[in-house]
Each structure stands twice: as structure tokens, then as C-alpha cells.
Chain A
Amino acid sequence: MNAAATRPVDAHLAFDGVKLAILNNRWEAVARKMANTLLRTGRSGVLATARDFSCCIVTADNRLLATAESIPIHVLVGPDMMAKSMCDLHPELKPGDAFLHNSPYHGCSHAADLSILVPVFDENGKHRYTAIVKAHQADIGNSIPTTYYGHAKDVYQEGALIFPAVQVQRDYKDIQDIIRMCKMRIRVPEQWWGDYLGMVGAGRIAEREIHAIGNEFGWDQLAEYGEQWFAYSAERMKDAISKLPRKTATSSSTHDALPGTPKDGVKINATVAVDPTDGFIDIDLTDNIDALELGINVSEACTRTAALIGVFNSIDHNVPRNAGSFGRVRLKLREGGVVGIPQHPTSCSVATTNVADRITNSVQTAIASMDSRFGQAETGALSPATMAVISGKDPRKGRPFVNQIFLGVTAGAGTPTQDSWMTIAHAGNAGMLYIDSIEIMEMAYPIRCYQRRLVTDSEGAGQFTGAPSLMGEYGPAGCEMTINAVSDGTLNQAKGAAGGGKAFGARQYRKRADGSLEELPVVVSVTLAPDERVVSYSCGGGGFGDPKTRAVEKVLNDVREGRIGKDRAREVYGVAVDDVFSLDSAETKKLRAS
């Protein structure tokens, strides 16, 4: 035990910054251990390559305490709601229990994010914490082989197995009925089983670690320090909000039209009001259309999280993210909206990406419009065909395959102080995902990757630039291949902020054997012949600030690296570059003065 901990502790604990730091590190370490187990043992690409999972600890009264660094859309809000539904539906929790959860009507993000909840007890059998492992599955038994079913009319057409906190372990043993149901419905059942094992392993490792912490510090003391951590986090959040201007701003971001949406697409409006004195941000998301008969509605967990991501993208990144800081952002939602609180049987199959990202964009551009020292431009939209779910029958193995690929995506937005983090993927992911190795892909699946390159002149121009578009070309190797993706951002490219420009939008094409290109619709669902390919362009990210104020050396470097051409340097950035890639200072001065 640490020397600090040997001091007598009052029943009424004084604020102890040393102890708090130590305990917070311990909690995060537990979540990291969970995450490491899952990543290294996972079998589906979406889990072990894209890191599309999260691990966290919530308190017995269902407040988010600590997370491993995870994909934000997974973990800010949702685990708390799922834990609450577990407690409500199963009042008699016992050690050795574990629950499956993926119901977007009970706090999960979307059906593909199958979660395991492990309630953790002290030695007297009192429920103290819940460890939660949430992982996007390669398949969840939808009626078609994709976990993002954009055209699903409702949850029935979507077809996923839905588990509203269903018990899957009792006395540390699997309930085989449930396992058999999953194996009967989920495609590639062995792969699912491998991922399930990894998730259970992560949950049980958390249980072991939490017991160690509880025994070391004492359970009641631990709970008391938890309260202090929440209070500290709330205070940090208040302090961060106090630096923002007292303003209210409305901003919107629009998802491209699909069959079934209004013809101008799905416009998401957010009104953000900052109260720097009392340290609150209010976000109103009620001025939005009703839920659609499509799979792109946003679950309550993702609605709340997406709004919070917009806030945390805009303020001091050192503020801890837990129930304490979340309490300073108040959301106004309505039931039955395309964002907000969707009602069963509304489908939320694609809740974590497309429309959710539009919520984040609305919030961060609203904040940027208040004061250009904060906020961000728009992040590009998902999912181009380089991120599709591919399926077919592998001629080398004689077995069917289905998996999401991650051949690359860019989308990062310009910010008030930096160019984009290029491979941010989408607002909800924050760049946490890995990108597939071409060699690993070609070994594991009958796929051939032809090229992957950034597109010149496709960035969101700005003082700080958004990401360029990434072009990818791939196709099947010796078989047919079905490709499913919901690709937003063709019509509604990522917009700039504070004077920044918009970026190149998404496009996808079927490339026929003769080399001709056929443009594919927003919801990509296509089966390629063995001699066909897909050519996909990802969305770039919006620029931040006036491009004419971009540092000249940076523009010069962009030209040298082929990110932009000399014409664009001249016209958009006001920088003249000569034939040997040197700066023409006099001309540049003139261009920038005008």
C-alpha cells in the first residue's frame, strides 16, 4: 500500500488530490486490461483490426466511472443506461452472473454492438460496480449480411437478435440455450464464438481487478472517492465551460438523401447555449424530423453521446470524461425523432455513424460559430466502400466469409490550432480504428487491393486544413463478392468553419472489366463479378479558418507532397509556387494582399 494510504482517513474524507490521481489511474488500468484482452484475442476484423469496441466500469448506481481509451461513440453515454436496464430487469443479481445486451431501446448504441455486462460484488454480496464490454460484431443475424442495414424499414426487417440485458452466464458458466440461439442465427458462428470468449475474458479480468482494488482500499472508501472523482470532474468541466463565450448558436448538418428520406436529405439541427457563469451547456435536439422507416435513426445512447463528442471536441481535452463532467451538459430530446429517443420497432441499425455524426458536426460547428478559438469544422461522413462489409464464398477455403474491411478512410476536420488528424474516420470514432494491412487482407479473404492514394486538391481548405479524400480500389480474387456500405457525404460534403472551405465528398463506382465506371448510390449494396472492382472515394474533412492565412511554408509543403496543386495553392491559399517548388514571395505577398 502506498505511504499516503497509511495515513488515517477520516470518516468524512477530505479532498485528496494524490489519492484521487492514484485511484483514477487504477480504474483506467482495469479498463485498459479489459481492452487489451479483447483486442489481442478478437477474431472479427471489426474488433481486432478496427478496435470497434469499448471497455468501461460503471458504479452500482449506474454512473460511468472509468473507460479505456475507446471509440467515443461507444462509451460516453450508453453503458450507464445498459447497466441500469440490467438492474431494473434483474433485481436479484448474483456473483457469477453475466448479461448480453444490444437493445437500442434499453441503452445500447445499436444492435451490432453486442455487450457483456458483469456485475461485481463485494465479499458480502453487495453489488458495487458493473464491468461492461461492448464490441461491434462481424454479424448479428440481420436479414442481409451487414451490420449496417440502411434500408431496414423497422427492427423486424433489420432482423438482428435483440438482447435487452439477457442473462448469458450463471455461476460463471454459459447458459447454453443462449449460446445455441446465437450460433443458429449469427453468420460465421465460430468467429462469433471466438469474439464472445474474448469478451467474457475481458469481463472476468475486470472482476478480478476490481476485487483487488476493493480489498486494498475498502469498498465504502472506494465509493466515497468515486464521488470525489465525479465532483472533481464536474469542477474541471465547469472551469472549461467558463472559458467559452456566453452565446447561443444554432447549426445544422445534413445527411444525404436516400430512398425514404426527405428529398433534401436528413437535416439535423442543434441549438447550443453556453452559460459560462454557472458552467452549463444546453443542447436542444428537438427541432428535428420524426423517425424514418429506415435503419439510420439514432438511438438515445448515440444521440446523447454524439452531442457530447461535439462538446468535448471543442473544449480543453484534459477534462475527464465521466458522469461528473457529463452532468454539465444538458440535453433536450424528444421521443419518436430521427435523433432523440426512438421507439420500438424503429430501426437504429446504423445509429453509431451516419446521422449521429451529423449531430456531432452540428454541435462543434455551432460552438465554432460563437468563437473561432473553439469548436471544429465538419468531420467527413462514413462509410465509403473502403469500409464496407464484404461477403461471399472463399474459393480457396470453400467456406463463406463475411467481415467488415477497413482499407482506409480520412475525414478529419480542421481545428482552431491544428490541421486535421487525417485518419479520424468519422466523428464518432476519433481516429481510434486501425487500418487494414493489404497483405493481411489478401491472406485472410479472397480480395485484391489495387490501390490506395490520397486525392490531390480534395482537402477542406483553411488556415488549418481538413483531411483530403482517400481513393481506394479493390475487388474479389477469383469469386463473386457482395459489398454493403451506407455512404453519406456525396451531396453534403464536410463544411468548413470560421472561413474554412468544404472538402471533397464521397463517391463509389463499380469498375467493370472493360474499365468503365458505374456510379453507385448512397446505400451501396452490390455484388461484383470476379472481374469487377470497386473504386471508392472517402469524404475529406472541412477546413478551419481563412485559407489565405495558412502559413506559407505549410502550403509549400502541401504542394511538394502532392496534396494540392499549384493552381489551388494560388487561387485558394494565395501562395505562388514556381516550377522547382520554391516560393515566389513577391507574388504571394501580392496575392494575399488582394
Chain B
Amino acid sequence: MRFATDTGGTFTDLVVEDDDGNVQMFKASTTPDDPIRGVLDVLQIAADQLGLDRADMLGKGDLFIHGTTRAINAIVTDTAAKTALLTTWGNPEVLVLREGGRIEPFNFTVPYPKPYIPRSLTFEVVERVLYDGTIDIALDEAAAIEIIAQLKVQEVEAVAVSLLWSVVNPIHEKRLGELLAEHLPGVPFTLSHEVNPILREYRRTSAAAIDASLKPLMTAYMETLEARLRDAGFAGRVLVLTSQGGVLDAADVAKQPIHSINSGPSMAPVAGRYFALADVGASDAIVADTGGTTYDVSLIRGGSIPWARDTWIGQPFRGHMTGFPSIDVKSVGAGGGSIASVDAGGLLSVGPRSAGSVPGPVCYGNGGTEPTVTDAALVLGYLNPENFLGGAITLDLEAARHAVETKIAKPLNLSIHDAAAAILDVVTENMVQAIDDITVAQGFDPAQAVLVGGGGAAGFNCVLIARRLGCKELIMPQVGAALSAGGGLISELTNNFRVVAATRTDEFDHEVARSALAELTSRANAFLANTGDQAIDSRMTFSIEGHYPSQVWDIEVPLPQSAIDGEAGVAALEEAFHQTHEKLFAVRDDGSPVEIVGWRVDVAVKIRSGEIGQMHNIAVAQGSENRRCFFRETGVADVPLVSFADMHEDSKISGPAIVESPFTTVVVFPGSEARKVASGSVVIEILGENA
């Protein structure tokens, strides 16, 4: 038996898969004061529904896969450890100046960001390595020891060490690590060249700072999680979802907790890729996870999960860069809780402000007064007020109607239904915009992809989004409402390693290439040797990071072969670069050499075989077979209401219709047609000329 849990802002999701491949989904409230309690709660709910004792249930488990927002929450709420930074003399403002840049040039109401580690805890170490690795100024160890003494006085809880050019020659960082271990025992530290060996000192320093600051907290959390699961009767392996969309052993995450920052959201693309392939055989997919506050989108191309080098915590230029690659999930402020409003000029906007979980949408009856997307869906008749989230909440339709009427319909001089439909239109457009940015902006036509919708609020408008993008098919997986936890079940053990080593294709240094690839291979093999007995299959993918001469930003290009042999190998690499550049930016510079600055290997280990089975606990107790809904095409009309559980593979349901499970509602708009496929997903076909 396998368990996958995802602790989100509002709900803790659990997906249980038994040894026969049967899958069940459960939800419990997240308990922010002690998130592990929420995990144990949802396990209890599962045990009760399965008619098992919790300890017996856990005793059958071999894998427990956990996603958590604990690391990100600690950063956002400023409760990470008191951390000091040791940096090269002369570079103390590295976290203050960052890399410059700003959004919204005329918005002066947003303050300049504070450095992740304050200047008062930043210490300059006398030493200097140059770009070629030579040592210009040797490390002043006596001065360093004095600094460490100050750290002790200041009761620092963690230390980040980030020196200029440490990726080329780490000798001084390593020595500082030894001095810290000796003179400040018990205080965890992070060396920048180990956690994130990339050029550009700000992002490497930021990574080291964030990682160090999470160590006291996450080390304890990972140990507690494992201990409490053991107490509860679980004897198997505990894995944690990473920002890279894979899993790592909890103990490894405790050592480099920065990997757990995007634990959770990064799983949606993993799940999306699986269902796109399993359900409709597509290798190009747009995966969209609709939460209460954010809409997280990613693009799977040719079966590959997209990567980003720059990951920001918070808004670009206003938050902190992790400096760490992660699954490229774009997040915009649009979701079920997004607030709709009309401005002085009569323009309707929806989001990015969200009603969150407190007070929540107006219809939750917890004091919200501003209409949200969920309120609009309720007003349009798409939701059942009596049976929302399996009956956990009763929705107040009248309150939602009143809010939509007074705040939107009247100012825009529209009927209530038209106003609610307009709210869906605008949030749809915001969501489409987010998808456009990851597709069309990269020269990819979204009409070539299938759309995979996950998240509790996805069903309100995912048909509208698919139609607007020109997608022909839309997949709503059974585990969609817990897409990240679902992704946990099918994730792989992954890691990646990188080496900074420069050469260029017109003066190719085969020795540099050979030694970089050899180092990557040996590090990858070391990781593989340590992956335990669940490994079924493994693979390594090599790529380079490079640019045309004097270009400033690099692109990543997979190596056509794992070794670069002779002139032909170099030519093939150059051509692969030209093609990638043209694909991304519409131009290629034929005849130009390519400068290579870095090498990378991605390692993935498969730890499951076979398909995910059908969901079992999805039946809906239904009082009627129709629901009264508003659609622009039909006005108010009774439309068929179908349960996920009652759908069959050979029956097609034409829109307008509503398809419902305890965890989600899918609006099948006119001009679309829903069917169920073998995995249990609902696949909706968008008909007509716009598809």
C-alpha cells in the first residue's frame, strides 16, 4: 500500500493506493500549528472509511510520499532560522542589490525588498579567487575565526557561506566549512558551491542563504514526521516531494531543504504528464491546477517536464530568488477565491486579490462580502449548495447573488447571470494569459496540446479555457482535486548535478568536455547506488548551458549524444543549439560558434510500475438528475447532472451538462462533449470550428 499526502494552504490531501492498484482520495483540514497532525487526521479518515485500524492500515504501507508547504511558509512568514552570511570582502551588498530589476515602473507603493539575510548578520571574509580559479588573496583564517566567534555571541542558528568564484575553485568555502564545524559545532551551514554550483553570485548566495535558514526547521520537521509515522505504525520508506517534481528521501531533504520549497505544486505537471499520455496518448500537455488563490500552469512538451533556472519566492524582483532550478510552474493570482470588482472607469477585473480561506467566498458565509469566482459559479447554478466538498460546507446562494448583483451587475448594468458569466470570462482570460505566457511566448501553439485540469475549482471554466486556447481535448483526472498528491504516486526519485566548465564549439576542448561529463556521470552513479531496493529502472540525461558569443543569457540544450566525439559530435551539438534557439526565439545565427558555460545531468529512478487504478470513493448521493444552470447560449435551463461514478466509457455526455464528484464539479459547456476513459478520467472534447 502507498500513501501520498499533500499539505496545502486549506486542505491536506491524501491519496491511498492499495496493492491491487485501487485508488482512493481523502481530504482533511490543514492544521497550520502542527501540520503533521493534519496528515495523521487524514490518515485516520481514510482508515475509518476503509474500516481499518489506522495502525493496521499504516502497517501495510511500503511508501509514504509527502508534499509540504512548510519550508515556503517559514520563509513567507519570516520564521526561518536566524542565519548569518559569510561573503567575500568587498561584496557585502550581494543580497541587498540583488540583480536589480523591477516590475510596475510607476508603482511606488511597494517597498524595496529587504535582503534575505540582514546586513547586520553579513560578514566579509578576507579572501579572493579569480575567474580562472587562481587565488589572488589567500583566506585569512584568523580573521575568519574571529567572525565565527561573533556568530556565537549573536546566537546565530545557521550559516550560509558564499564566496566569489567558489564554483570554479571551492577551496576557501570548504575551509570555512571546516572552521565552522570546528568552532561553531551544532550550527548547520550551507556552502554555496555545494547547494547550487552556478555562476552569478546573487542567485548562488540567495540559494545558500535560503537553504541554510531552512535547515534547523526542516531537519527537525523531517525527523518528527518520520518518527510520528513510525509511532503510528508505518514501517516503510518516507519520501518527500521536491521542487524538481521528483521525490527524495526525507533524510536527504533535511540536508538540502531548499529542494522542498515547491514541494507540492511541482507535482501537478508530473501527474498531468502521466494522464495526458495514459488517457489520450498526448505528449504535449498544458497542466493547470486551480487552487483558491492561485492558478498554477506548466507546459509539457514532447513528454518533458519544463524547467526554470529562476525560481522566485513571491513576485519577481520583489521576493527572493531561490537561484535553483525547479519545475517551471507559472503561478498567477486567479482561482476560486479571486475577487471580482468594477473600477471607477467601469472596467471589470478579477483577482489577483483573493478571499483566501479566511473569510473565503461570500457563499461560505464566513464574513466575505466581495464576490468571487466561486460565488459566480454558484450564481450560475453550476454548484450544488447542499453538497459542496462532499457536504462539508453548505453554500449561501442568496448571499452570493446579492454580492454579484450589487458589486458587479449594477455598476456594469448587466443582469445577475450576465455579470456572473462575465466574472468567469475575465478570470478565464487571466488564466489564458498565464498559459499564453508559457506557450505562445515560447513559440508554442497551445492548440497543439491537451489541457489537463486539476484542483477543486478547475471545473468551473476549464472548458472555456480549452475553447479559448483552441485545445481540442481536456482531461479532468479522477484525482484532479488532489493533483499534487496524485502526482506523488507516480513520481520518480530524481536529482540533478551540474558542473561549471567553459569551452566553445570553434575551439572545442575535448578534455574539458570529457572531464565535465565524467564528473557528472560519477556523481549520478553515486546517487543511483544509494537509491534503495525499490528502483525498477533509471536514466541519465545530459545537457549543456550555453549561448552565442557575447549573449548574456544561456539556454539549455540536451546533448544529442552522451559523449561528444570528434568534429562530428561538436557539429551535432552546435546544430542542436541552433535548433533550440530558433524554436525559442524565431532566429538562429548560422555559422556562429556556441559558448558552453555549464554541464548538467538529470537522474531519474523509477520506483513504481503499472498504471494508477480507478478511484473508488467517488459516488455522489444524488437527489436529482438535472440542475438549473445559466449558459449564454441557452439562458436559464435544466441541464443533465451526471456523477463521475455513473459515467461509462461508451457513453458520451453532450453539453450543456454538469459532471460531479464529491470533490469537484465540471461544467460541460454547450459545444463540448464528455466521456470517461479507462483510468477514470473524464475527457471532454471541444467541438466546432473554434477547436
Contact yes or no, B345 A431, CB < 8 A: no
How far apart are B210's CB and chain A's nearest CB, in angstroms? 18
Q: Which of A39, A72, A561 has the most CB of B within 10 A?
A: A561
Contact yes or no, B199 A431, CB < 8 A: no
Is A426 among interface residues, defined by CB-CB distance under 8 A? no
Contact yes or no, B585 A454, CB < 8 A: no
Residue from B119, B342, B552 within 8 A of A49 (CB atoms): B552
Q: Is the interface of B mostly helix, strand, loop or mixed?
A: loop
Task: Report Cα–Cα, A374/B191, bound state, in Å.
Answer: 46
Is A163 among interface residues, defined by CB-CB distance under 8 A? no
B 104-115 binary contact with A (CB < 8 Å = 1; else 0) = 111111111000
> Which stretch in A19-27, A89-97, A481-489 binds the other chain?
A19-27
Task: Report Cα–Cα, A321/B104, bound state, in Å.
Answer: 12
Is A215 among interface residues, defined by CB-CB distance under 8 A? no
Is A204 among interface residues, defined by CB-CB distance under 8 A? yes
How far apart are A480's CB and chain B's nearest CB, in angstroms? 19
Chain A residues near B428: list those with CB within 8 A: 2
Contact yes or no, B99 A434, CB < 8 A: yes
Is A259 among interface residues, defined by CB-CB distance under 8 A? no
Contact yes or no, B100 A431, CB < 8 A: yes
Is A583 among interface residues, defined by CB-CB distance under 8 A? no
Chain A residues near B107: list those with CB within 8 A: 317
Contact yes or no, A201 B587, CB < 8 A: yes
Within A391-429, which residues are at the interface with B (CB < 8 Å)? Answer: 406, 408, 412, 415, 417-425
Contact yes or no, B101 A431, CB < 8 A: yes
Is B568 among interface residues, defined by CB-CB distance under 8 A? no
Contact yes or no, A3 B421, CB < 8 A: yes
> Which stretch in B9-17, B89-97, B224-232 binds the other chain?
B89-97
How far apart are A532's CB and chain B's nearest CB, in angstroms? 17
Chain A residues near B103: list those with CB within 8 A: 69
Contact yes or no, B345 A235, CB < 8 A: yes
Chain A residues near B91: list those with CB within 8 A: 438, 451-452
Given A41-B585, A190-B549, A453-B90: A435 in contact with B97 (beta carbons within 8 A): yes
Is A443 among interface residues, defined by CB-CB distance under 8 A? yes
Contact yes or no, A17 B346, CB < 8 A: yes
B 268-311 binary contact with A (CB < 8 Å = 1; else 0) = 00000000000000000000000000000000000000000000
How far apart are A57's CB and chain B's nearest CB, in angstroms? 16
B120 nearest CB neighbor, chain A only: A560
Residue from A29, A71, A72, A205 within 8 A of B433 (CB atoms): A29
Residue from B112, B347, B437, B589 within 8 A of A412 (CB atoms): B112
Task: Report Cα–Cα, A80/B521, bound state, in Å.
Answer: 55
Within A215-261, which residues are at the interface with B (CB < 8 Å)? Answer: 232, 235-236, 239
Chain B residues near A18: list those with CB within 8 A: 348, 422, 425-426
Residue from B93, B101, B118, B632 within 8 A of A434 (CB atoms): B101
Is B436 among interface residues, defined by CB-CB distance under 8 A? yes
Contact yes or no, A453 B92, CB < 8 A: yes
Chain A residues near B425: list those with CB within 8 A: 2-4, 18, 22
Residue from A197, A438, A560 within 8 A of B118 (CB atoms): A560
Given A18-B348, A198-B585: A440 in contact with B441 (beta carbons within 8 A): no
A413 nearest CB neighbor, chain B only: B108
Chain B residues near A37: list those with CB within 8 A: 585-586
Task: Report Cα–Cα, A43/B547, bound state, in Å.
Answer: 10
Q: Which of A6, A21, A44, A235 has the most CB of B within 10 A?
A: A21
Contact yes or no, B108 A421, CB < 8 A: yes
Contact yes or no, A43 B106, CB < 8 A: no
Contact yes or no, B587 A317, CB < 8 A: no
Contact yes or no, B468 A437, CB < 8 A: no
Within A15-65, which residues are at the interface with B (CB < 8 Å)? Answer: 15, 17-18, 20-22, 25, 29, 32-33, 36-37, 39-45, 48-49, 51
Contact yes or no, A190 B585, CB < 8 A: no
Task: Report Cα–Cα, A566/B165, bound state, in Å.
Answer: 36
Task: Report Cα–Cα, A444/B199, bound state, in Å.
Answer: 12
A 299-325 binary contact with B (CB < 8 Å = 1; else 0) = 000000000000011000110010000
Task: Report Cα–Cα, A68/B471, bound state, in Å.
Answer: 27
Task: Report Cα–Cα, A25/B165, bound state, in Å.
Answer: 42
Residue from B99, B422, B440, B555 within 8 A of A209 (CB atoms): B440
Is B412 among interface residues, defined by CB-CB distance under 8 A? yes
B688 nearest CB neighbor, chain A only: A1
Is A376 among interface residues, defined by CB-CB distance under 8 A? yes
Task: Report Cα–Cα, A443/B200, bound state, in Å.
Answer: 11
Is A439 among interface residues, defined by CB-CB distance under 8 A? yes
How far apart are A35's CB and chain B's nearest CB, in angstroms? 10
Contact yes or no, A452 B552, CB < 8 A: no
How far apart are A543's CB and chain B's nearest CB, in angstroms? 14
Is B522 among interface residues, defined by CB-CB distance under 8 A? no
Contact yes or no, B553 A435, CB < 8 A: no
Contact yes or no, B101 A433, CB < 8 A: yes
Contact yes or no, A17 B347, CB < 8 A: yes
Contact yes or no, B550 A29, CB < 8 A: no
Chain B residues near A6: list those with CB within 8 A: 632-633
Task: Report Cα–Cα, A417/B131, bound state, in Å.
Answer: 43
Residue from B348, B464, B585 within 8 A of A40 (CB atoms): B585
A15 nearest CB neighbor, chain B only: B346
How far apart are A34's CB and chain B's nearest CB, in angstroms? 10
Is A194 among interface residues, defined by CB-CB distance under 8 A? yes
Is A347 among interface residues, defined by CB-CB distance under 8 A? no
Is B330 among interface residues, defined by CB-CB distance under 8 A? no
Is A430 among interface residues, defined by CB-CB distance under 8 A? yes
Given A2-B429, A430-B102: A17 in contact with B585 (beta carbons within 8 A): no
Contact yes or no, B131 A437, CB < 8 A: no
Residue from A32, A201, A376 within 8 A of B108 (CB atoms): A376
Contact yes or no, B345 A236, CB < 8 A: yes
Task: Report Cα–Cα, A327/B107, bound state, in Å.
Answer: 21
Task: Report Cα–Cα, A560/B165, bound state, in Å.
Answer: 29
Given A51-B101, A205-B586: A418 in contact with B440 (beta carbons within 8 A): no
Q: Which 10 A-B pairs have the closest CB atoms?
A: A451-B90, A48-B552, A430-B105, A435-B100, A431-B102, A201-B587, A43-B550, A317-B107, A437-B200, A317-B106
Interface of B with A (CB < 8 Å)?
89-93, 96-112, 118-120, 130-131, 164-165, 199-202, 342-349, 412, 421-422, 425-426, 428-430, 433, 436-437, 440-441, 443, 464, 467-468, 502, 548-553, 555, 581, 584-587, 589, 592, 632-633, 669, 690
9 contacts between A and B (CB under 8 A): A3-B464, A317-B108, A418-B109, A423-B102, A432-B101, A432-B102, A435-B100, A437-B202, A440-B552
In the complex, given contacts A239-B345, A432-B105, what are 7 additional A-B residue pairs having Cβ atoms less than 8 angstroms apart? A15-B346, A18-B425, A20-B347, A21-B429, A70-B105, A236-B344, A421-B108
